[in-house]
Structure formats: C-alpha cells, structure tokens
Amino acid sequence: MATNHEPDVPANHNENRRTFLKQSSLLTALALVPGPVVSAAEAKLDERVAEAIEQIPLSLKVNGKKLKLKVEPRTTLLDLLRENLNLTGTKKGCDYGQCGACTVHVDGQRVNSCLSFAVMHEGQEITTIEGLADGDKLHPMQEAFVKHDGFQCGYCTPGQIMSAVACVREGHAGSEGEIREYMSGNICRCGAYTNIVAAIQDVKSGGQKV
Amino acid sequence: MNQFQYVRATKPQAAIEAVAKDANARFIAGGTNLVDLMKRGVMTPQKLVDINRLDFRKIERQNNGLRIGALALNSTVADDKQVRERQPLLALALNAGASPQLRNMATVGGNMLQRTRCAYFYDVTMPCNKRQPGTGCGALEGINRMHAIFGFSDKCIAVHPSDMSVALVALDATVQVSGPKGNRSIPFADFHRLPGDTPEKDTNLEPGELITAVDVPDGPFTKHVHYQKVRERASYAFALLSVAAALDIENGTIKAARLAMGGVAHKPWRLTAAEQVLVGKPATEETFRQAATVAMQGAKSFKHNEYKLRLGPNAIVQALKTAAAA
C-alpha cells in the first residue's frame, strides 16, 4: 500500500493494535515461506514488488477532508478506508456485498464499500461512521441506537447506522414494514432488529434533521 | 484477486475499442457482481474499462416509450416518476431485487449482465461448463434446488438471477447496443440465451458491444400489475421463482396480458401461450388457473427442485389475482 501517500488522518486508539496485527500477520506469512524468499523479504524486496504494481492517482473527499492518494486498482473502497486511511469504523463483514457492515455514503447515497474499487470514486465525497457526529455531539441516529440498545456485539452497528440515516433521508422510514424492507441490506447476527427499528422510528418521529 | 489494468473511459467509442480488441478486457459500471466474482476468482479480467463517466444515465421520453440509459441506477429507475406512472411493473421488479445499497450501485445494463448465482458456477473447485467449458455440470446431479425447470440442457441447468429482466421481457423492451460494427437493437426476449452447448455465453452480445439504453414501449399496463417473488426470507434474497404479471382489464374482461417468470430458466421466461389464454376471458381465478396450467407445460424438474412444478402455477395465479385487484 502507498504508505508514503497516507494523508494526515487523526490517530485513533486502535492504531497500535492494528499495527501489531499487520506486523504479526506479516511474520506469520514469512514463517510459512521457504528460506530464499525470506531473505529477499529481509532485503526489502517485498517493498519493491509492491511499488511495481500500478498505482493510480485518486482525489476524493472523505468526511469533509480533501485527499490526494495513489492506490492500486484492486483496492476496494472498504480497504482504502480501513487499511490506507485508518478509518476502521467501517467494518468488513462478508466482503461480498451480502451483510451491509461496510455501508458508507458516496455523494450522499448509501453503498456497499466492499463491492467497488476505490479508483472508481474519483472526485466523489465519502462519508463514513467517523464523519457522522458533529465533534463530540453524536448524530441523532447514533444517540437513538444507544437509547434503544440497537446493538449487542456492535460489529454491524456502523453499517446499520449509515444505512438507517440514509433510510430516513430517502423517505423510506414511514412504517415498521417499510423500515424493515429498506434496512434488509444490513444483517445483524445478534438479532437486534426490533431495537434497530425502534431507534429509526424514534429519529423519524422526532423530526430532527438527519 | 488477480492484478488488472484499470482505465477510465470518457468516450463510448474508446471504451468499445478497448474491450473489442482484448478478449481479457471487461467493462465495469456498478461492479456489484463483477467485483464479487473477481474476489472469488470466478472472473479474472486483465483489464477493466470503467464506463461510469459515459453519458448513459438519463431516463427520457422517446418514440412512444421510455428510453432508460444503461448506466441509470436501479434505485433511480425504481424511484423515477415516469417509470412509476407508465411502467409500474418495472419499478416493482427493481425494488424486489437486492438491497437499497446495491440498488444504489447497480446499473440497468449491469443488472441484465449479471451472472447466475448457481453455487457450482461460484465455487472454482467445482465443475461448471459455464465457468470453464468442458468440465461438466455440477448441478445436474448435485444440489439443484434453485435450478431451471425450462429450457435447460445437459450442459447447464442454471437460472438467470435478475428480477428487472423478468419485467422487461414481459414489457417487450428493446436493448440498444453500440459496438465495433455500429449500433443495433435487440428485442429483450432475444438478448439472453438458453444454455444449449455453449452455457458460457449468457447473452447474444458480440465482443466489445456495449449496452447504451433499454427502450420500454408505452402500453396499457399502468394499473393492474404485480411482481410476485418467492424467496426464503422476506427481503434481500434471490428468487426461488418469480412472476411478472400485467393485465389490461375492461369491465371485468382481460383485453391484454403479459406474463413472465424468473428463477425457472437460463433467461427471463416469457409465457406467451399463457397470455393468449387470458385475453378475452373474465379476470377470474378460474381463468388464471387455466393460464397457469398452460404456462407450466413442458416444465421438468430435477432431484431437488420438484417443488417448483407446484410453486410455479400457484405463484402465477397469485400474481394475476394481485394484479387484477391492484
């Protein structure tokens, strides 16, 4: 990945854990490969290989911040957010567009970030769960999820909240049935659906600006 | 995932040339199916030509119908005022497919070009004549509960997964394509293929041909329509079987009818013989049952999908009853 192009994103408390995970998985991989490859890697050959892969310039706006990046074409929008920009609020669930954990807004529309390549989003504006709150003030949908206990393990929650905000903005939160239909792209394995629907109804009926 | 070269097209002709001259190049629009297939190694294009910047997003009135640009998003089409007024069956079918997030990404052209969701096609460790011609069909003697009951061959029994296409074949749509040899129109019913001996070919598109629009002619089907989708959960699942039904009813008599099924064949399955049964008859359950019987003529099941032989006619009757009451 193009670490030299990483933008100045605020460090978050997960960073040390994530750096450790990256290092430890690299070490595991090295332990499994034959000797000559290990010595090549030790001689920084792995970085040269990475640099040989085509890097495409990419300009986009993430949570209001303009970024100029270089990305490999294979990088999905989800991996760009999580691995390159350290915005790990957006979750990787299935990675095949079946669970909705990776839901973000692109130019205001909710999409599965795992199913598109980052390079396809030139010039677009991405909003992730990190971009929803106004400083320390939670977005009304975030508050409603806390109030109604709209989660258990929390893994699907960022995707649920991004989808829920879009659901209200689109005008698809008119009834419990409509909410359930228009939230069907977000799976919750803990089964917090009843409380998620209650949270969305609360925000919708509260009339706050979402 | 395999490495690939990425290019962004700004002119249709350049995109067409890039794909026409390179057998390993593919167009990419929404990417919801192609990216999925690339992650699994089912498709391994060496070059992707991004067509999202091309000017094929408009929905407009043209020649007594609607011309829907190939890059119009599924959600845009389903919410479009003209589509909802003039072609409500299309809006219903679109909203029955995928999830809101996917409909915000998937395009009309891409929806038509979806590959089958047959598990043997998706699993690269399994034989599949569609993915790798000559390796055999895993589904024929395998788990075939999702599979075809019409038009299959001993090479492939997969079904086409699109809901939108079931409505479009019923509505006599026409596909506009642009290719290295110029432009042409393909009637929707001739766009997708039956598997025969070449299940690797889903459609009759030639190499490099690009879908630019779909034309849906005006018709009388603005009120009595229904898209009945039977699936294993209430939303966000592929159809076990689906029915698109459209009726024009005057004083209780059916003046015109359109009927098509999804989840039963390698292509969206138009039921013209059953439509003829309906025309001129009273819009009653008895008439609908007669049409359903004719619709199912020639259906054959495999070990695990025998249920479709009973589900099919029941879904047709239900779709027609709901359409008539709409």
Task: Write the CATH number for B289.
Answer: 3.30.390.50
- Which of A6-20, B33-47, B312-326 is least confident? A6-20
**pLDDT number for residue A103:** 98
Report A:132-171 residues touching B (Cβ under 8 A).
Answer: 163, 166-167, 170
Name the residue among A189, A187, A186, A206 with its Cα closest to residue A198.
Answer: A206
CA B171 from chain centre, in angstroms, equals 12
CB contact under 8 A, B104 and A110: yes
ipTM of the complex: 0.96
Predicted structure pTM score: 0.91
What DSSP designation does B73 have? B
Q: Burial letters for A26-62: b for 16+ Cβ neighbours within 10 Å, e otherwise? A: eeeeeeeeeeeeeeebeeeeeeeeeeeeebbebebbb
pLDDT tens, residue by residue, B172-221: 999 999 999 999 999 999 999 999 999 999 999 999 999 999 999 999 99
CB contact under 8 A, A120 and B104: no
Chain B residue with CA closest to A182: the answer is: B100
Determine, yes or no, domain membership for B296. Answer: yes
CB contact under 8 A, A182 and B100: yes
Determine, yes or no, domain membership for B306. Answer: yes
Tell me the three state secondary structure of residue A198.
Answer: helix
CB contact under 8 A, A97 and B32: yes
CB contact under 8 A, A184 and B3: no
Chain A residue with CA closest to B40: the answer is: A96
Two tokens at B146?
A: 């999702």
Q: Which domains occur in chain A, in start order?
A: 3-131 (3.10.20.30), 140-206 (1.10.150.120)
In the A/B pair of chains, how many CB contacts fall below 8 A? 86
Chain A positions in Cβ-Cβ contact with residue B35 (cut-off 8 Å):
76, 97, 114-117
C-alpha distances in Å from residue B164, one per residue of B117, B243, B280, B290, B306: 15, 11, 28, 26, 25
pLDDT tens, residue by residue, A91-124: 999 999 999 999 999 999 999 999 999 999 999 9
CB contact under 8 A, A100 and B99: yes
Nearest Cα of chain A lies from the Cα of B317 at a distance, in angstroms, of 24
- Which of A34-38, A198-202, B1-5, B307-311 is least confident? A34-38
How much is the average pLDDT of A176-181?
98
CA A35 from chain centre, in angstroms, equals 37
Name the residue among A188, A138, A141 with its Cα closest to residue A169.
Answer: A141
Are the C-beta atoms of residues B158 and B229 closer than 8 Å to each other? no
Are the C-beta atoms of residues B91 and B78 closer than 8 Å to each other? yes
In whole angstroms, what is the distance from residue A86 CA to residue A69 CA? Answer: 14
How much is the average pLDDT of A144-150?
98
**pLDDT number for residue A199:** 98
Residue at token pair 């249709």? B12
**How much helix, strand and coil, in percent to the nearest 5, is found in chain A?**
45, 15, 40
Name the residue among B161, B138, B127, B130 with its Cα closest to residue B265.
Answer: B161
Determine, yes or no, domain membership for B24. Answer: yes
In whole angstroms, what is the distance from residue A151 CA to residue A198 CA? Answer: 12
Number of residues assigned to chain A? 210
Name the residue among A82, A114, A109 with its Cα closest to residue A98.
Answer: A114
**pLDDT number for residue A24:** 46
**pLDDT number for residue A9:** 41
Report A:89-128 residues touching B (Cβ under 8 A).
Answer: 95-97, 100, 103, 109-112, 114-117, 119-120, 122
CB contact under 8 A, A54 and B99: no
For residue A34, pLDDT over 70 is answered with: no
What letter represents residue B105's amino acid? M
Q: Which helix (H) or strand (E) holds B174?
A: strand B174-179
Q: Does the CB of A176 have a partner CB in chain B at under 8 Å?
A: no
Chain B residue with CA closest to A113: the answer is: B101
What DSSP designation does A120 have? G
Q: Mapped to the 3 state alphabet, what secondary structure does B242-296 carry?
A: EEEEEEEEECCEEEEEEEEEECCCCCCEECHHHHHHHCCCECCHHHHHHHHHHHC
Chain B positions in Cβ-Cβ contact with residue A172 (cut-off 8 Å):
100
What DSSP designation does B189 have? G
CB contact under 8 A, A109 and B75: yes
Chain A positions in Cβ-Cβ contact with residue B48 (cut-off 8 Å):
73, 117
**pLDDT number for residue A53:** 73
Nearest Cα of chain B lies from the Cα of A103 at a distance, in angstroms, of 7
Chain A positions in Cβ-Cβ contact with residue B122 (cut-off 8 Å):
none
CB contact under 8 A, B4 and A74: yes
CB contact under 8 A, A166 and B39: no
In whole angstroms, what is the distance from residue B278 CA to residue B22 CA? Answer: 48
Determine, yes or no, domain membership for B243. Answer: yes
Full residue range of the structural domain in which residue B239 is found: 224-325
Are the C-beta atoms of residues A202 and A166 closer than 8 Å to each other? no
Determine, yes or no, domain membership for B294. Answer: yes
The residues pairing with B282 across neighbouring beta strands, listed in sequence order, are B253
Mutate to test the interface with B, among A184, A187, A200 (most CBs of B within 10 A): A184
CB contact under 8 A, A172 and B100: yes
Determine, yes or no, domain membership for B320. Answer: yes
In whole angstroms, what is the distance from residue A134 CA to residue A124 CA? Answer: 21
Nearest by CB to B236, from A120, A170, A184: name it: A184
Name the residue among A130, A128, A131, A186 with its Cα closest to residue A155.
Answer: A186
Other Cβ atoms within 10 Å of B10 Cβ, number: 11
How much is the average pLDDT of A170-196?
98
How much is the average pLDDT of B283-302?
98
Domain boundary among B13, B33, B52: B52
**pLDDT number for residue A208:** 86
CB contact under 8 A, A74 and B1: yes
Are the C-beta atoms of residues B45 and B26 closer than 8 Å to each other? yes
CB contact under 8 A, A185 and B102: yes
Checking DSSP bridges between strand B241-250 and strand B224-230, what pairing results, if any? antiparallel
In whole angstroms, what is the distance from residue B104 CA to residue B76 CA? Answer: 8
Checking DSSP bridges between strand B47-50 and strand B5-8, what pairing results, if any? parallel
User: Residue A73: phi, psi to the nearest 5?
Assistant: -55, -30
Cβ neighbours for B112, distance < 8 A, ≥ 6 positions apart: B162, B164, B165, B168, B175, B191, B192, B203, B211, B214
Nearest Cα of chain B lies from the Cα of A68 at a distance, in angstroms, of 18
How much is the average pLDDT of A136-155?
98
How much is the average pLDDT of B82-96?
98
Determine, yes or no, domain membership for B170. Answer: no
What letter represents residue B289's amino acid? R
**pLDDT number for residue B47:** 96
Are the C-beta atoms of residues A59 and A97 closer than 8 Å to each other? no
Nearest Cα of chain A lies from the Cα of B31 at a distance, in angstroms, of 6
C-alpha distances in Å from residue B39, one per residue of A3, A113, A139, A171, B117: 23, 14, 34, 34, 15
Kindly report the CATH number assigned to the domain that includes residue B41: 3.30.43.10
B241-250: strand order across its sheet: B224-230, B241-250, B253-262, B269-270
pLDDT tens, residue by residue, B230-255: 999 999 999 999 999 999 999 999 99
Determine, yes or no, domain membership for B129. Answer: no
CB contact under 8 A, B32 and A167: no
Q: How many domains does chain B have?
A: 2
**pLDDT number for residue A8:** 41
